[in-house]
């Protein structure tokens, strides 16, 4: 996740915009569920992930959707602000936030459940400083 985050962030900084992506899923009842990544930033991130992780695979698609879900929840969940920092190089994420994003399921709209994420991150988080 961290490598994909860095590559996507670098692609956005370099303005390497990708084409819109149309993702098609099948619901349990067999009906189609479509997701369109038409936003320029989302398309850019999808292009960056695709270049390394292949969006045609479950792994690549999962990484892409998790990164986009992470950006989305960071934009609305103010309590997450202590788990990332704005630097001249871009946003730096706390490793526990990345681990949670890699482990949490996405909902039907490809978002993280804020309550579930808060619960997952509510246990003490190591600072990373040596004792």
CA 57 to chain centroid: 16
Rounded to a whole number of angstroms, the CA Rg of the chain reads 15
Regions of the chain short of the pLDDT cut 50: 129-131
**Long-range Cβ contacts of 79-85 (<8 Å, 24+ apart):** 79/118, 83/121, 83/125
Instruction: Give bridge partners of residue 90 from the DSSP assignment.
Output: 87
Query: What is the model's pLDDT at position 124?
Result: 62
pTM of the shown model? 0.84
Instruction: Give bridge partners of residue 22 from the DSSP assignment.
Output: 36
Query: What is the model's pLDDT at position 21?
Result: 93
Query: What is the model's pLDDT at position 131?
Result: 44
pLDDT tens per residue across span 118-131: 998 986 655 554 44
CA gap 110, 95 in Å, rounded: 21
């Amino acid at each position: 996740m961290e490598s994909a985050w860095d590559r996507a962030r670098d692609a956005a900084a370099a303005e390497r915009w990708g084409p819109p992506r149309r993702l098609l899923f099948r619901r349990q009842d067999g009906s189609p569920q479509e997701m369109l990544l038409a936003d320029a930033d989302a398309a850019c991130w999808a292009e960056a992930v695709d270049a390394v992780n292949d969006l045609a695979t479950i792994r690549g698609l999962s990484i892409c959707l998790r990164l986009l879900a992470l950006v989305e929840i960071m934009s609305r969940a103010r309590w997450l602000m202590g788990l990332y920092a704005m630097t001249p190089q871009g946003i730096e994420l706390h490793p526990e936030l990345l681990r949670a994003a890699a482990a949490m399921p996405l909902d039907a709209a490809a978002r993280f459940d804020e309550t579930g994420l808060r619960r997952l991150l509510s246990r003490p988080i190591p600072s990373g400083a040596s004792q």
